Amino acid sequence: EAAVTQSPRNKVAVTGGKVTLSCNQTNNHNNMYWYRQDTGHGLRLIHYSYGAGSTEKGDIPDGYKASRPSQENFSLILELATPSQTSVYFCASGDAETGGRQNTLYFGAGTRLSVL
Amino acid sequence: QQQVRQSPQSLTVWEGETAILNCSYENSAFDYFPWYQQFPGEGPALLIAIRSVSDKKEDGGFTIFFNKREKNLSLHIKDSQPGDSATYFCAARRGSALGRLHFGAGTQLIVIP
């Protein structure tokens, strides 16, 4: 079973502050993703990565940066946090060929972020 | 714009009943449709998935019915149990999109004992 670990699990930040959300996966998946989950919107893709050193913009990248320093780690950075970024953030990993279950995404448990 | 739509937003059924969750999509190029199940405090987990070349997929008590012409699909949960109470997300992806799943807003299912 794929293991995706997010930290912190809960975070309270002040408006204008910098926030870094971290994600680690131990299954050597090439692809990693950051989603945010809001009531009424489901999961929306912020940034993703195809491997170490690569980051791509998802559907709602404004106000967020991403960093993939290694195969295992993928961070989401809010340089100037705003209250509209209050949400639950999920990291996921996956590959196009994962034990026959093509393109299964494995999600972490989420980080609940409140920006005051 | 919401490319994947789900209904109802919330569904309550009695234990033993069949729960039916609906999903529709806009993009005819979508060809892979997974359903993810999410329990409170956890991340979503893949439950069952179907490709557009099929019209039905079964796995245990879960069945997906897919209608390509109408661009909709449904998840049937047979003999629902309280442990099936969760939020269910329908998602869709184009063949070349390498994991860029588009998720619906979810259906919260409550199964009453």
Band (A100; pLDDT cuts 50, 70, 90): very low
> What are φ and ψ of residue B83, in 5° steps?
-70, -10
Residue among A43, A50, A108 minimizing CB distance to B103? A43
The closest alpha carbon to A44, from B10, B101, B41, B31, belongs to B101
Whole-number mean pLDDT of chain A? Answer: 91
Number of CB atoms found within 10 A of residue A22's CB:
17
Closest approach of chain A CAs to the CA of B42, in angstroms?
5
> For position B19, what pLDDT does the model report?
98
- pLDDT (mean) for B90-100: 76
Where helices occur in chain B by DSSP H, the ranges are none
Q: Which domains does chain A have, with CATH numbers?
A: 4-115 (2.60.40.10)
CATH number, domain with residue B98: 2.60.40.10
How many residue pairs from chains A and B have C-beta atoms closer than 8 A? 56
Tell me if A22 sits within 8 A of A10, measured CB to CB. Answer: no
Q: Which residues of A touch B46 (CB under 8 A)?
A: 101, 104-105
Question: What is the tens place of the pLDDT at every residue in A24-81?
Answer: 999 888 889 999 999 888 899 999 998 999 999 999 999 999 999 999 999 999 999 9
Q: Flag if B103 and A44 touch (Cβ within 8 Å).
A: yes
Q: Residue B99 is nearest to which of A4, A90, A103, comparing CB atoms?
A: A103
pLDDT of residue B96: 56
Q: How do beta strands B10-14 and B107-112 pair?
A: parallel
User: Residue B42 and residue A110: Cβ atoms within 8 Å?
Assistant: yes
Question: Which of left, alpha, beta for B60 (phi over 0: left; psi -120 to 50: alpha)?
Answer: left
Query: Predicted confidence band at A1 (pLDDT cuts at 50, 70, 90)?
Result: low
What mean pLDDT is reported for chain B? 93
For position B98, what pLDDT does the model report? 61
Output the pLDDT for position A96: 63
Query: Domain count of chain B?
Result: 1
The pLDDT tens digits of the residues spanning B42-74 come to 999 999 999 999 999 999 999 999 999 999 999
Indicate the pLDDT class of residue B97, thresholds 50, 70 and 90.
low
The residue among B108, B113, B88 whose CA lies nearest residue B33 is B88
Contact of A65 with A93, CB cutoff 8 Å: no
Residue B33 pLDDT > 50? yes
Q: Do A92 and B105 touch (CB under 8 A)?
A: no
Give me the domain span that covers residue B39.
Answer: 4-112
